[in-house]
Amino acid sequence: MISVFLALKMVTKVVGVFPLARLHYMKVKEASYTTLLMATGLTFGTISALYGLQNGIIDQNQYTVLVSVVFLSAFVPTLIAQKFFQPTIEMMHAWGHLYRRRLGRLSVEDVDTEVEGEVAKVGKTDRDMFGGVYENN
């Protein structure tokens, strides 16, 4: 019973989060990492199960199943994300730069500025910093 509910919760998490991560210009690996780390429902699931138990809506066995699923749906995906999908810090910075550029909202880090005749190396291009990892993808 726990595994069925856990699988259902994971499917709904993927359906709800992964497309939005891809919509925000994340590559598959980064979108998968983000999806797996979304611990949606950990607090709400635990509190609502406790409410149901205290008010006689569910019994102790149902409460145990629900809390187990809620806990496992946060814990197991986090382990998988850290082991198989964790992006490098450079990749996340490249994604942030690309996201801000596509939104048209560049930050100070993204803009080349001149300081007394020297070009500051604050706003390197994607190709300069990350070998074109996120360039126009």
Per-residue model confidence as pLDDT tens digits over 43-88? 888 999 999 999 999 999 999 999 999 999 888 888 888 888 888 8
| Residue 121, domain extent | 92-130
Closest CA to 21 of 32, 12, 10, 13: 32
Cα(first)–Cα(last) distance of the chain, in Å? 42
Paired tokens of 80: 């998988």
The verdict on residue 43 lying in a domain is yes
Is the domain of 29 the same as that of 56?
yes
Write down the pLDDT at residue 58: 96
Is the domain of 82 the same as that of 103?
no
Is the domain of 97 the same as that of 83?
no
Q: How many CB atoms lie within 10 A of CB 134?
A: 23
Q: How far apart are alpha carbons 73 and 13 in whole angstroms?
A: 9
Domain count for the chain, please give it: 2
